[in-house]
Chains A and B, each alone.
Chain A
Amino acid sequence: MAATQSARATGLGDRVRRGLDSDIWYSFTRSPVTVLSAVITAAILLAAVFAPWVAPHDPFDLASIDLLDASLPPVWMADGDPRFLLGTDDQGRDVWSTIIFGARISLVVGFASVIFSLVLGVGLGLVSGYAGGRLDAFIMRVADVQLSFPAILIALLIDGVARSALPRDLHDELAFYVLVFAIGVSGWVQYARTVRGSTLVEKNKEYVQAARVIGIRRGAILVRHILPNVTGPVLVIATIHLAVAIITEATLSFLGVGVPPTTPSLGTLIRVGNDFLFSGEWWITIFPGLALVVLVLAVNLLGDWLRDVLNPKLR
């Protein structure tokens, strides 16, 4: 009895200690690339979250923008201005600040669409795997059909439909949600397929049958018993999907169907700057591009590491 109480009392400290002792943490500290990716990802995340405090300027505050500062090169070049680390764009906005705010938009869209895909995909995968039969066949055929189109095409299609269906000003207001919906819907298939596969395995395990013998209802079995046991691969997919979602968002924004230029994401910044690439102001497009590459690469490397560490066969 005494042992039980002391174990409970030290629950939190115990967890931290066990976490630091776990194989995952061990493998993490042994991989310099992973540590670097994690640091970069964390830095970008923090910068994005605290953008108003981190960024030297507020690129959306029209009062602080001075057109006289337009198109200044980065500081280390001849005409550079020490106020603008990476130079300014054609409207006099600080490129460094727009990147921080742009990364914020990109990450919010990325996370939101990943969560949307995840909920939709995991839900459908669970139902499909557990129910089997015609429902399963139907969901999986829909998935097959969707998989035969490139994700970007589906996102474009959804965006296009929304654009023509909604009045213009309403569309601008809803652009963010349309974008999240478009990217989210284009990505659910992977989650559904993986979760369905794991569910097929798990539902035949004896602990699920034991729950059925007790009398637990289907819904509760799915949520309480099967769901926690199929989340491992989902985590990996979600991490890699985050990188894909950010890229998709950037692509859509680059094509001009993403978020409106008043709240630019990294993709929007690249598109806007692209017009100035050949007139010599390369920094307007190159730096947001570099930021995008670094962010996506870091997230991808984290995802790869997570996949390897959670898959005992590759160890």
Chain B
Amino acid sequence: MALLDVRNLRVEFPSRRGSLVAVDGVSLAVEPGDVLGVVGESGAGKSTVGNAIIGLLEPPGEMTAGEVHLAGRRIDDLEPGEKRKLRGKRIGMIFQDPLTSLNPLQTIEQQLVETIELHLGTGEREARRRGVDLLRQVGIPEPELRVKQYPHQFSGGMRQRVVIALALCAEPDVIIADEPTTALDVSIQAQILDLMRALCKEKDVGMMIITHDMGVIADITDRVAVMYRGRLVEHGATVKILGDPDHAYTRSLISAVPRPDVRLVRFPLVTYIEDAKETPRHFDVRRHWLGQARDFGDGAGAGAGAGAGAGPGAKKGDAARAGEGGDGGGRGPGRGPLISLRGLHMRFTTRPSFFKRNRVYLDAVKDLSLDIHEGEVFGLVGESGSGKSTVARMICGLHTPAAGAIRFAGTELTSLAREADLDPFRRQMQMIFQDPYSSLNPRMRVMDIVAEPIRFHRLAGGREEVEGIVSDLLEQVGLGAGAAIRYPHEFSGGQRQRISIARALATRPRFLICDEPTSALDVSIQAQVLNLLKDLQELLRLTMLFISHDLPVIRQMCDRVGVMQGGRLCEVRETEALFESPEHDYTRHLLALMPRLEGLSRQGLEIEEPA
């Protein structure tokens, strides 16, 4: 008999429109000292399984079938009071956000002592001793000192260690960890996972880790259960499932994971998961509106721009500015840079004050110089807070730099005083944002969202024409023209990101900034969106600035990469060179922390040969 045994679990959420079956027929078992991973995408029901085991389903959710046994005793039909005694005592829990799972008004000691006294019935002195001991075990330096501190005095990773200590303090049999490292930076993630695995083996505790991250699964689990739409599709030893998956869903999930060590031509079709509604009709871009008026006045897209429809989009001013910029005709790297940043500096006021000397500043970007060439995909990588998004925001005019120059195709944007002077450049560069849930105005129809830039820049005349173009754009990003009359909330995260992409393309830009475009998405959806961006980049010969904290994604997308740390650029190299032979210490450090994912199946992958 297994330590934790879940049999045929079914969870339903009744609503006034019928009952939603969130989990159906799930059977799992955890042995002592065993780490079981439950993996799946958002909405697969993996967290619901965890919550059902500990009896913390969000109302109106309820278990409608199945049994949960802990060490041979059935626990799912216990009285609420009995169940509460189990939580913390026999089953420990670790949640995603270490900030909200600790009480900010109590010291770590108070919280530890309270829990230990409650569950183990020891005296206060003994509880204190055990508390300090636990903190030492989870790797907190100077535990005697730090135990007296409040949660806000700990960093994110340290806080998660405290949460682990709290979960361990009652000496539970089983620990359920729901996305324990998702809120942490990569460098800290690796340490926490190692710690969890070591403690689990050492104390012979069974552990269930719920995650969406294949890296976490590969790193620490012994066995893995793959969930898809509330059902268990595959269940077995981690090595077997990652290396040689049987189920088609598992295969497509694994194939969608960006590899740190090779570059793929494209992500293989992840058809099992919600994909583009319709296969995009293939346009002849040279004839279609999207490809027209790509003559930006400096010879970059010459040829394509001829013909009707160029209209007011190509302003005379563009041609006038052409002289400084391009050398005409030439293609690819080697021509003058499209974007040129010189000595860029950005400073935010973190504490405003009437008196200058009392103000406190944060220098988000320090003396940054960088060139991005026509037609290339330039990656910017760094940890959170390194200033990479700030750079993007300065380029597209959301922030005004404190010092330095931004040149776009030879024109210095920072010297343009009037807003109207910037318009032709705004048309040429667009941005795709990180959070698909906040980047679309919820009160506007998709039609109006995508049409807005076309109307603003007067790129097409007449309602009919604008609507036709929007339909084509929506087809192009794989949503189908029917999406136009709907509102953003009717779409999933990946679909919303496609709408964002359609909006960004609506000005017929030549420079596209992607600020973490897939970090809010599931891995399979990420693969689709990355595929789409790659296709569009080739089709429209876009120049891209691609910002991400995720090195494997950068490797898949970018031609050249810049590494940022603390507002400075430490290294700029060709992608392959950077990954194979990093020069800067910080780059090496980042690369070392990258999950290796070596055991992952390479079935069906088309690997790009290094040039």
Contacts and interface: CB of A to CB of B under 8 A. Distances in A.
Interface of A: 1, 3-4, 7-8, 26, 205-207, 209-217, 225, 228-229
Contact of A206 (B427, B435, B457, B471): B435
A295 B6 CA distance: 58
B482 A4 contact: yes
A206 B397 CA distance: 14
Given A206-B434, A212-B397, 8 more contacts: A1-B481, A26-B16, A209-B431, A209-B439, A215-B419, A216-B456, A217-B419, A228-B443
A21 to B, nearest CB: 9
A132 to B, nearest CB: 10
B397 A214 contact: no
B308 interface: no
Interface string B93-136: 00000000000000000000000000000000000000000000
Given A213-B426, A215-B426, A206 B507 contact: no
B482 A215 contact: no
B353 to A, nearest CB: 13
B452 A216 contact: yes
Contacts of B422: 215
A214 B503 CA distance: 9
A228 B434 CA distance: 23
A215 B439 contact: no
A213 B431 contact: yes
Contact of B503 (A26, A210, A229): A210
A232 to B, nearest CB: 10
A212 B427 CA distance: 11
B507 A214 contact: yes
Specify which of A3, A206, A214, A229 lies most central, judged by the most chain B CB atoms within 10 Å of its CB: A214
A204 B427 CA distance: 22
Interface in B466-484: 471, 481-482, 484
Interface in B392-444: 396-398, 419, 422-423, 426-427, 429-431, 433-435, 438-444
Contact of B441 (A8, A207, A215, A217): A207
Top 8 A-B pairs ranked by shortest CB distance? A206-B439, A228-B443, A206-B433, A215-B426, A205-B438, A207-B441, A214-B453, A206-B438
A235 B423 CA distance: 36
A4 B398 contact: no
Interface residues of B, number: 34
Contacts of B440: 207
Contact of A213 (B397, B442, B471): B397
Instruction: Please classify the interface of chain A as helix (H, G, I), strand (E, B), loop, or mixed, using the class held by over half of its residues.
Output: helix
Contact of B439 (A4, A8, A210): A210
Contacts of A213: 396-398, 426, 429-431
A30 B434 CA distance: 40
B485 A7 contact: yes
A201 to B, nearest CB: 10
A215 B438 CA distance: 19
B438 A207 contact: yes
Contact of B398 (A205, A212, A225): A212
Contacts of B444: 225, 228
A234 B439 CA distance: 23
Given A213-B426, A215-B426, A216-B456, A4 B485 contact: yes
12 contacts: A1-B481, A4-B482, A4-B484, A7-B485, A206-B438, A209-B433, A209-B439, A213-B398, A214-B456, A215-B456, A217-B419, A225-B441
A230 to B, nearest CB: 10
Nearest to B488: A207
A206 B513 CA distance: 14
Contacts of A217: 419
Given A213-B396, A213-B426, A215-B426, A207 B439 contact: yes
Contacts of B471: 4
B391 to A, nearest CB: 14
Contact of B452 (A26, A214, A228): A214
Contacts of B431: 209-210, 213
A212 B439 CA distance: 12
Interface in B483-534: 484-485, 500, 503, 507
A7 B457 contact: no
Contacts of A228: 441, 443-444
A26 B452 CA distance: 35
A209 B398 CA distance: 7
Nearest to B435: A206
B443 A215 contact: no
Contacts of A7: 482, 485
Contacts of B397: 212-213
B497 to A, nearest CB: 11
A110 to B, nearest CB: 28
Contacts of A229: 441-443
A215 B452 CA distance: 10
A205 B398 CA distance: 13
Contacts of A215: 419, 422-423, 426-427, 456-457
A214 B513 CA distance: 13
A215 B453 CA distance: 8
A1 B472 CA distance: 11
A23 to B, nearest CB: 9
A211 B398 CA distance: 10
Interface centre among A4, A206, A217, A229 (most CB of B within 10 A): A206
Contacts of B434: 206
A4 B481 contact: yes
